[in-house]
Structure 1
Amino acid sequence: MYAAIDFGTTNTDVVIHSAGSELNFYTFLTQNVNLEFIDKIFKEISIDLSKIKSIAVTGGKSSNLENSYKEIPIEKINEIDAIALGAKNLYEINEDSFVVVSAGTGTACVHSNGVTHNHLGGISVGGGTLQGLSNCILGTSTQSNIDKLSAKGKRENVDLLIGDVVNEIGSLYPEITASNFARARKIKNISNEDLAASLSNMVGEVIGTVSYLNALLMGVQKVYFIGRVSNSDTVKKGIEDRLQLASVEGCFANNREFGNALGALSFIKAK
């Protein structure tokens, strides 16, 4: 049995690989990254420690951890390697060159040539941005609440769209955003639903833009997404709308929020 733990800024994701190919997934709110937190995790999921051969850790301050937990070796996996290996495992990628975008609290872009994995850069906009702004504007930072509101909202009541401001501009279609929140300058009493839809879409558009720019930079026409923020349908649509502008395909697999943990797991299993 192997255990992999990804210490994210907001959530800590755990994947347990039992006998055969069985995988079990768990999520906890992140606490201080130390052995006491690992102890809490394993107690919560009622795991038999005697069966664990190795623990892989990545993300956060995991490199500061001791090298073992109750005599079980701890393998510390570079987060960039975990991102690339996680996507490769999750999507069964065969391409020699591919781009992965890890969109969680913030957003990181990684390129792999199949052998080495390079950090292309990142942006500070992600799920943390959405939840923080939502708390300030809507009075809630709970993602499920934001998603429920955004699903009922109409962002075109808040955003200016291309079709609102010009007849034609290049290949941009009328429904593309010209300016996020621009209508809010002159409108009062905007519904929380419309605000949530606009906020979620804006975060998605920013992630989608940096994603397609990195894809074009590396000469690929596909981006593989891991991380939790794209689980929001409104954010995901914002990402896809931006990718479409550059004819770049976005790939969104189930369990992508566990991508980093899966990457750490595949690293220790290959040793």
Structure 2
Amino acid sequence: MKGLTLQKAGIDAGGSLMKIVYQENNKKHYKKYPINQINEAVSWLKIAAPNLSVGLTGGKAHLIQKKYLHNAVLIPEFQATCEGARILMLEEKKRSNQHFLIVNIGTGTSWHLVAGEKYERILGSGIGGGTFIGLGSLLTKKEDFQDLIHLANKGEKENIDLLVKDIYESAEPPIDGHLTAANFAKGLKVKHSDADRMAAVTNMIAETIALLTLQAAAIHQVKSVVLIGSTLIGNESLTSTLEYYLKRFELEAVFLGKGEYCGAVGAYDFV
């Protein structure tokens, strides 16, 4: 890439990742770095385009502005996320009405209510990608996100979660027997693998997010849910479980292909 071909960029610097959307030769491109590689990411930007216009958002935006990009524009995180989601929905032709929820599953999870041109953060939870990696590493001794996803995708939650059918045994349960009665309740009483532990972690995260989403949707009379965030990328077990529960709740689940870049897209659009 030659210098000065980049004209502007949006950066979302969160708890785990630094996501960059940049324009090169009138086309948008997407790039991400682990947050501990800020030096490498900013050095690449400065070499590529010394006079680049940058929009910054996310928890570490102030740090990056102060230390590296003094002329960058700071955009409030929730504003950037919601505006970026709107833009990506149009670009990806994901249809929704003007009244929906955005569920951003990053290190933690945030819920935003979108009503026309207005948006509002209505809820937050510490359950999210940080839980997936942190609890997953404690239970399996593996710390790589992709390794944990691989385990979750091949595990069986019922080898460690107590299901409704386990309680009723031979009797007919009054609700779906495959629903979780108690997360991790079988503990050490039964044999299970690292993959089963990760499947149970994933299910617990999905159930918690789905139940909080149901409550928020009921309060605000919303039927459409747009799910975004880095934790969903390549995480088939999590996305399929979320989709399953939201469908049971009669909610429409919309997943954005570039959903992890919503904040960066919103920051990019601002400059």
Tell me the equivalent position of 1:132: 134
Q: In angstroms, what is the RMSD of aligned CA positions?
A: 2.3
Q: 1:141 to 1:24 in 2, by over 3 A?
A: same
Which residue in the other structure is 1:175 paired with?
Answer: 178
Larger relative CO (CA 8 A, sep 6+): 1 or 2?
2
| Cα drift, residue 125 of structure 1 | 0.6
Give the whole-Å Cα distance in 2 for the aligned partners of 1:76 and 1:199: 35
* Counterpart residue number, 1:56: 55
Return the TM-score normalized by structure 1.
Answer: 0.86
Superposed, 1:23-172 pairs within 5 Å as 23-31=28-36, 39-42=42-45, 46-50=47-51, 52=52, 54-63=53-62, 65-66=65-66, 69=69, 73-92=71-90, 95-166=97-168, 167-169=172-174, 172=175
Distance 1:153 1:76, change over 3 A: same
Q: Which deviates the most, 91-100 or 130-139?
A: 91-100
Measure how far apart 1:66 and its partner are.
Answer: 4.4
* Contact 1:105/1:126 (8 A) holds in 2: yes
Counterpart position of 1:200: 202
Structure 1: which amino acid aligns with 2:69? Y
Q: CA offset at residue 68 of structure 1?
A: 8.9
Q: How many residues align?
A: 256
**In structure 1, C-alpha distance between the alignment counterparts of 2:193 and 2:145, rounded to whole Å:** 18
CA deviation after TM superposition for structure 1 residue 11, in Å: 0.6
C-alpha separation in 2, matches of 1:265 and 1:164: 51
Structure 2 distance, partners of 1:185, 1:66, is: 50
State the alpha-carbon separation in 2 of the partners of residues 94 and 240 from structure 1. Answer: 16
Q: How far is 1:266 from its partner?
A: 2.2
Describe the superposition over 1:147-200 as per-residue Cα deviations: whole angstroms up to 9, x where unpaired. 11122211111112223324333xx4222222111122522x421111111112
Structure 1 stretches lacking a partner, 5+ long: none
Structure 1 pair 37–148 and aligned structure 2 pair: CA distance change class (3 A): closer
Q: Name the amino acid aligned to 1:114.
A: G
Aligned-residue offset at 1:37: 6.8
Q: Give the distance between the partners of 2:155 and 2:66, measured in 1 at CA.
A: 48
If the length of structure 2 is used for normalisation, what is the TM-score?
0.86
Q: Distance in 1 between matches of 2:33 and 2:225?
A: 27
Quote the residue 1:14 is aligned against. Answer: 20
Q: Which runs of 5+ in 2 are unaligned?
A: 1-6
Equivalent AA in structure 2 for residue 77 of structure 1: I
| In structure 1, C-alpha distance between the alignment counterparts of 2:202 and 2:62, rounded to whole Å | 33
